[in-house]
Amino acid sequence: MSTAKKEVKRVTTHVLQKMKNDGERISMITAYDYSMATIYDDAGIDVILVGDSASNVMAGHETTLPITLDQMIYHAQSVVRGVKRALVVVDLPFGTYQGDSKKALKSAIRIMKESGAHAVKLEGGAMIKDSIERILKAGVPVMGHLGLTPQSIYKFGTYTVRAKEDAEANQLMKDALLLEKIGCFGIVIEKIPAELGKNTTESLSIPTIGIGAGKHMDGQVLVSHDLLGITKEFNPRFLRRYLDLYTEIKGAVESYITDVKQRDFPSDKEQY
């Protein structure tokens, strides 16, 4: 029997580009810790996003705004330790890149150096062009994020579908083309009409990853806690739940509590 380790071929930004060129869909999921990242990677996911949605699902905040760069780095370090194959992308949190491209570069460099992740993601188009360009010039791959950008929730006022009107749809297309031109390797596009998702995907040569952007995107991303049914109040139309882990976990813990109370656990076999 051979003892040689099976070599894992890593997903890189070039692999993602080839997938788009070949018409192969890209799968992406969020992760925030080592154990879950290991499972997603073993399952064969292409991209793991250490999303600032950690602010919601890990820390219990209402928005993504409070999470800090240090906290994102902690999550990213944990995820990177669990991943052998997937490309790991980390969100730059709110307040660490807008309006000051030097600060943006410093934030991106901290993430890359301290976590070992492979790329960063920033929300916005023309408004943050300088920050993206400076990060790219330092050799750090950048993923864009357009459409519903949760860090701007107080500007939007609601989490409803974006770019339903021509003006916003045209601006989104302009921003997408700009992000491609300056060198982003891909763009997440969130909660827009499927027709606009299709037009954007067909107009760009880099991969588009949709969340609530319809079936014509080059790839799809979901927040892991939503997909697994850990969050139960969040039920947008675009979400497909593959498990009801909230109920499963609650049931398991209820059984454990009962066993402890009834002195059924530990049994004779479960002690030394």
Q: Which residues bind ligand KIV (CB under 6 A)?
A: 30, 49, 51-53, 91, 188, 190, 211, 221, 223
**In angstroms, what is the minimal distance from the CB of 208 to ligand KIV?**
12
Minimum Å distance from CB 156 to ligand KIV? 14
Distance between CA atoms of residues 16 and 249, nearest Å: 35
User: For the chain, what percentages of helix, strand and coil (3-state, to nearest 5) are there?
Assistant: 45, 15, 40
- CB-wise, 101 or 220, nearer to ligand KIV? 220
Closest CA to 65 of 124, 153, 126: 153
Residue 21 bridge partners (DSSP) = none
**Residue whose C-beta lies closest to ligand KIV:** 51
Give the whole-angstrom CA distance, residue 126 versus residue 85. 32
Q: Which is nearer to ligand KIV, 82 or 219 (CB)?
A: 219
Minimal distance in Å, beta carbon 267 to ligand KIV?
42
Give the Cα separation of 266 and 270 in Å (integer). Answer: 5
CB of 30 to ligand KIV, least distance (A): 4
Q: Which is nearer to ligand KIV, 83 or 188 (CB)?
A: 188
Q: Answer for the pair 121, 111: CB distance below 8 angstroms, yes or no.
A: no
Rounded to whole angstroms, the Cα distance separating 232 from 249 reads 12
Name the active-site residue from 7, 114, 168, 190: 190
Strands (E), the chain: 26-30, 47-50, 87-91, 119-121, 142-147, 186-190, 208-211, 219-222
Q: What are phi and psi of 29, to 5 degrees?
A: -145, 155
Assess contact for 243 and 232: CB atoms under 8 A: no
**CB of residue 145 to ligand KIV, shortest distance in Å:** 6
For 8-27, b/e burial (b = at least 16 CB within 10 A) is eeebebeebbebbeeeeebb
Q: Which residues contact 98 (CB under 8 A, 6 or more apart)?
A: 104, 124, 127, 128, 131
Please, what is the minimum distance in Å from the beta carbon of residue 258 to ligand KIV?
36
When the beta carbons of 46 and 52 are compared against ligand KIV, the nearer one is 52
Residue (219 or 264) nearer to ligand KIV, CB:
219
Residue whose CB is less far from ligand KIV, 2 or 222: 222
Active site residue 190: yes
- Among all residues, which ones are annotated catalytic? 190
